[in-house]
Amino acid sequence: MLISHERFVGWLIEHPSCAIALLRHATLRIRDLSEALRASMSSVYERVARFVQQVAIHDAAVDCPVVRLMPPVAQLARMLGISRERTSHILNELTRGGYVEPRGRTLLVKRPAARRG
């Protein structure tokens, strides 16, 4: 179904709460798309670090964020569009830097990863 521009604008004027809801939805979509674009343009290091931060959930038992069932390196690499070797190297770098602590398939996030320029 198509609606003319004039009828749509008239409807929005008659229903301002709907206009606000549409703007709110559009704003959230723009924010999501901007984040996706930023992620696709970020360095591979930032993609891995961002993934870890996004999926980690605070665990009161260890008093830090934890990634339960960390995906295997090959799967994580495919998800992020990075080579398996590079993904493994970055995870090792994060471990050596004290940002994360692997415990089997669990990953403790000791502190947020440093940003890279």
pLDDT in tens, 24-61: 999 999 999 988 777 665 688 888 998 999 999 999 99
pLDDT tens figures, 59-116: 999 999 999 999 999 999 999 989 999 999 999 999 999 999 999 999 999 988 776 6
Q: Could you tell me the CATH number of the domain that includes residue 56?
A: 1.10.10.10
Within 10 Å of residue 45's Cβ, how many Cβ atoms?
18
Q: Are the CB atoms for 76 and 5 separated by under 8 Å?
A: no
Based on the fold, state whether residues 48 and 99 are members of the same structural domain.
yes
Q: Are the CB atoms for 66 and 108 separated by under 8 Å?
A: yes
Entry field: residues in the chain: 117
Q: Are the CB atoms for 111 and 98 separated by under 8 Å?
A: yes
Based on the fold, state whether residues 68 and 82 are members of the same structural domain.
yes
Going by pLDDT thresholds of 50, 70 and 90, the confidence category of residue 20 is very high
Residues whose CB is less than 8 angstroms from the CB of residue 26 and which lie 6 or more positions away in sequence, other chains included: none
Look at the chain and report how many structural domains it folds into: 2
Three-state secondary structure string covering the chain: CCCCHHHHHHHHHHCHHHHHHHHHHHHHHHHHHHHHHHHHHCCHHHHHHHHHHHHCEEECCCCEEEECCCCCHHHHHHHHCCCHHHHHHHHHHHHHCCCEEEECCEEEECCCCCCCC
Based on the fold, state whether residues 32 and 50 are members of the same structural domain.
no
Phi then psi for residue 7, to 5 deg, are: -65, -40
Expressed as residue numbers, the domain containing 74 is: 43-109
